[in-house]
């Protein structure tokens, strides 16, 4: 059961942070609308949390290694973790001017991802800085790509 909860938490946290950061950065550069970004966060917190939870559920079932209780633990852990971490990004958008909220969100997300990556590497007794840099590099690539995709969309469709 503990393994299942860790699986769901790890996946939900990582996906919640990276997906939501990509969404808010892309929507910001494409629309500069607080309302659109808040709506996007809520939609991704619900739709993507359920989608990821189902993905974990099916992946765990396909392994034929875990019982139904463990599979559902991983499923629900993914669902709630993804939802909570995605929804956390609404707070800066509600409290700050939009440009500042995006910067705060990116910094907050990268710090949480970095801390979690360090914790994972430390528990596996491997070089934590390699793991942290690898995970942050991927997250930063997503942020950069979605920023430019938002700019492109605004120029083509705006």
68 has a pLDDT exceeding 80: yes
The CA-atom distances, in angstroms, between 106 and each of 72, 122, 140 are: 31, 24, 9
Q: With CA atoms as reference, report the closest residue to 47 among 86, 97, 90, 4.
A: 86
pTM: 0.94
pLDDT, tens digit, 9 for 90 and up, residues 3-48? 899 999 999 999 999 999 999 999 999 999 999 999 999 999 999 9
Q: What are phi and psi of 66, to 5 degrees?
A: -120, 150
Instruction: Decide if 39 is inside a domain.
Output: yes
pLDDT, tens digit, 9 for 90 and up, residues 102-111? 999 999 999 9
Q: With CA atoms as reference, report the closest residue to 140 among 15, 21, 16.
A: 21
Instruction: Decide if 113 is inside a domain.
Output: yes
Reported confidence tier of residue 1, pLDDT bands at 50, 70, 90: confident
Reported confidence tier of residue 95, pLDDT bands at 50, 70, 90: very high
Instruction: Decide if 11 is inside a domain.
Output: yes
pLDDT, tens digit, 9 for 90 and up, residues 69-83? 999 999 999 999 999
Scan for tokens 């299942």, then name that residue.
4
Cβ–Cβ < 8 Å for 155, 31: no
Instruction: Decide if 66 is inside a domain.
Output: yes
pLDDT, tens digit, 9 for 90 and up, residues 110-148? 999 999 999 999 999 999 999 999 999 999 999 999 999
pLDDT score recorded for residue 97:
98
Reported confidence tier of residue 64, pLDDT bands at 50, 70, 90: confident
Please give the structure tokens belonging to residue 32: 């500069």
Domain limits at 25? 2-152
> How many folded domains does the chain comprise?
1
Mean pLDDT, the chain, rounded, equals 96
Helix/strand/coil percent split, the chain, to 5: 90, 0, 10
Instruction: Decide if 157 is inside a domain.
Output: no
């Amino acid at each position: 059961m503990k393994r299942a909860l860790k699986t769901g938490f790890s996946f939900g946290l990582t996906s919640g942070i990276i997906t939501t950061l990509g969404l808010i950065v892309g929507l910001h550069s494409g629309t500069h609308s607080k309302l659109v970004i808040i709506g996007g966060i809520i939609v991704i917190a619900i739709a993507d949390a359920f989608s990821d939870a189902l993905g974990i559920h099916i992946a765990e079932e396909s392994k034929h290694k875990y019982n139904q209780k463990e599979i559902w633990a991983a499923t629900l852990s993914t669902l709630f973790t993804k939802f909570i971490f995605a929804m956390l990004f609404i707070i800066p958008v509600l409290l700050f001017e939009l440009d500042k909220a995006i910067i705060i969100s990116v910094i907050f997300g990268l710090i949480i991802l970095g801390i979690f990556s360090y914790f994972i590497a430390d528990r596996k007794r491997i070089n934590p800085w390699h793991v942290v840099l690898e995970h942050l590099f991927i997250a930063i690539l997503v942020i950069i790509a979605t920023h430019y995709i938002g700019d492109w969309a605004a120029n083509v469709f705006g």
